[in-house]
Structure 1
């Protein structure tokens, strides 16, 4: 039986949200669930495909929505406006990730005690903020994410294991900001890892992207290695 994917509406801070959940009916019983955070364009095809890929491996993938139902960007200008709203209200961002996690845990096919979150670009910030909030999610993976901390303290202890997959030449997350994130995570007593890929820029998983003057480019090795590192991390969490 093939993987099934369907839209899923849920409620959170600020209104209604709509993601895509994917699972394989051939797998029996409850299984780990993984949130997939979206880029600044909003929840779309890429995140839904990643949720389906996770489902093929025996997880339940949930491509989440932090902008709101029907709110998706079609231009960089729209994306900047939508992302800016959340950058100005990090408590809302954390609350929306918590609502998505609660929705995932409420699914009949999900083992609520075994959950993780991964995210790309803005989604990388989202999953880091989920960990920063003190969520009891088992682990989070930030993939070419942005590292700036919220303007309020983290939970005293970050209990989620943290994996950061980072392009060393990413202008949106400089070496200095990467070191600052490591210090921040250490101060919160997190179990953290940072994998830096030499020669990789921002959005290194985006096939066909080639705008190095803007610090944006696909990097095949980094894309391949980051996916394998993510799967290894989930195996460690749930194996």
Structure 2
């Protein structure tokens, strides 16, 4: 089911209802430039807060750059969390069954691919924190996506990348002062991708904490007692690098 929502100048917004393989209702947020067809497209996987205003804003920015962008609902029925306890509960539920994350990410990919405005042969994924893991696990599953870009992502997995089964080029943007994903974790991730012969790049941003791309990170840290921090320079530089990757691979 497709529900027409609001239209802003030159950018069309459409909410799209779809389901995963177990029938869970999911509601994505599609943004794309008006009057364009066969667009390169980007899946946008959210932080553990869910498909909130921040992720929708990133989708609209991608649309302004000429992409069809699909902000993903990973929790079902467009649920979002306002506090860390709720966010952790929502996120943890997607780990209860080993296939839930890839199942829902694949459902989103299939839904995006089916949109008439989208070129299904030119799709990438970006992800923030938890969403970075989702994007990477989708690529690890062998999905036909051309690129993955992550921001302060959870890099761990139970299903490491396999040679010949990982199609995406990868860009990882990571904060040097991230206390949730250590530099040792980054090194283990690099070894994983080296072993699978994946084309990747890891950028480490100085004085950047977990959540560095989100202007709300400092307030989220204060409200929830978690070690987050916004860094506008790291945000700007990491997005410049991401758009350079997307433009090169998709356009």
TM-score, structure 2 normalization? 0.89
Distance 1:91 1:59 in 2: 29
2:31 pairs, out of 9, 16, 22, with: 22
| C-alpha distance in 2 between matches for 1:162 and 1:44 | 25
Partner of 1:190: 198
CA distance in 2, matches of 1:203, 1:142: 11
Aligned with 2:227 (options 197, 215, 223): 215
CA contact (8 A) 2:39 2:119 kept: yes
1:62 and 2:70 aligned: yes
Partner of 1:117: 125
Partner of residue 4, structure 2:
none
Runs of 4+ in 1 over 4 A off after TM superposition: none
TM-score, normalised relative to structure 1: 0.94
Q: Which residue of 2 aligns with 1:205?
A: 213
In structure 2, the partner of 1:137 is 145
The reply to whether residue 91 of structure 1 matches residue 96 of structure 2 is: no
Q: How many residues of Structure 1 are paired with residues of Structure 2 in the alignment? A: 237
1:154-183 deviations in Å (ceiling 9; x for gaps): 444311111111111111110100000000
CA contact (8 A) 2:174 2:203 kept: yes
Structure 1: unaligned runs, 5 residues or longer: none
Kept after mapping to 1: 8 A contact 2:126/2:135: yes
Question: Among residues 22, 34, 49, which one is paired with 1:41 in the alignment?
Answer: 49
Is the contact between residue 169 and residue 215 of structure 1 (CA under 8 Å) also seen in structure 2? no
Give the superposition deviation at 1:50: 0.9
Task: Answer with 194-203 or 2-11: which moved more.
Answer: 2-11
Q: Is the Cα contact below 8 Å between 1:121 and 1:145 reproduced in 2?
A: yes
Give the superposition deviation at 1:13.
3.4
Q: CA deviation at 1:17?
A: 0.3
Q: Larger deviation: 54-63 or 155-164?
A: 155-164
Structure-to-structure mapping, 1:148-187, within 5 angstroms: 148-150=156-158, 152-157=159-164, 158-187=166-195
CA offset digits 1:55-112 (Å, max 9, x no partner): 1111101001111114322321111111111234342101111110110100000000
**CA distance in structure 1 between the aligned counterparts of 2:147 and 2:98, rounded to whole angstroms:** 20
CA distance in 2, matches of 1:168, 1:214: 17
Secondary structure class of the residue paired with 2:121: strand
